[in-house]
Amino acid sequence: MPAGQICVARIGAPHGVRGAVKLWTFTEDPMAVRDYGPVLTKDGARSFEVETAREANGHLVATLKGVASREDAERLNGVELYIARDKLPATNDDEYYHADLIGLAAVTTADQPIGRVIAVHNFGAGDIIEIAPPSGSTLLLPFTNAVVPTVDLAGGRVVIELPAEIEGDGPDQAES
């Protein structure tokens, strides 16, 4: 992915026979994806212009310039679309883009290191923050104010309130 690029949408399955696609946007206003100009694939090799878009059930139905058939649309299923970071509006002091979190240190509320933020996902039930510890499996935690009470971009860290069963402080609740 070219430096300074932000993923704003993912192309889904075709819609109809004339090249329309389901488009899952990651912007506050889903229709804003039309306003950014050409969007690029992750590797920057291809660009697309959103010609039309209309809201559907949790996604957009969009036509992309140069995509004229169902077969063309099928080949794009799963392709992520990016724009240059500077095309996005500036954030307020207490706001950030998910991309701003990638690479930040993750620490406990007691300032103990946990690892680094490697992704923020949304599988349909809310945002999930993924943290890679120095060793072992990554942690997937709900991205809520209770679990992530502090995002400190200037300090380069996120504070995580670990559940007791992960932190190891809580009693074993298993019954024999």
Is 50 exceeded by the pLDDT of residue 16? yes
Please tell me whether residues 72 and 106 are part of one structural domain. Answer: no
- The length of the chain, given as a count of residues: 176
Please tell me whether residues 117 and 66 are part of one structural domain. Answer: no
This prediction's pTM: 0.72
Look at the block and give the residue holding tokens 């992750």: 42
Which of 2, 1, 23, 7 minimizes the C-alpha distance to 97?
A: 7
How does residue 173 score in pLDDT terms, banded at 50, 70 and 90? very low
Q: How many CB atoms lie within 10 A of CB 9?
A: 27
Which of 26, 20, 24, 30 minimizes the C-alpha distance to 12?
A: 24
Q: Of 59, 87, 115, which residue sits at a domain end?
A: 87
- Beta-bridged to residue 130, according to DSSP, are 119, 140
pLDDT at position 163, please?
78
Give the tens place of pLDDT for each residue, 22-70: 999 988 889 999 988 899 998 989 999 999 999 998 899 999 999 999 9
pLDDT exceeding 90 applies to what percent of the chain? 61
Report whether 94 contacts 88 (CB < 8 A).
Answer: no
Q: Average per-residue pLDDT in the chain?
A: 87
- Domain range spanning residue 57? 5-87
Residue 13 DSSP one-character state: E
pLDDT at position 166, please?
65
Q: Of 54, 87, 120, which residue sits at a domain end?
A: 87
Label each residue of 30-56 as H, E or C: HHHHHHHCCEEECCCCCEECEEEEEEC
Q: Of 87, 111, 131, which residue sits at a domain end?
A: 87
Residue 98 CB-density burial (10 A; 0-12 exposed, 13-18 middle, 19+ buried): middle
Please tell me whether residues 106 and 163 are part of one structural domain. Answer: yes
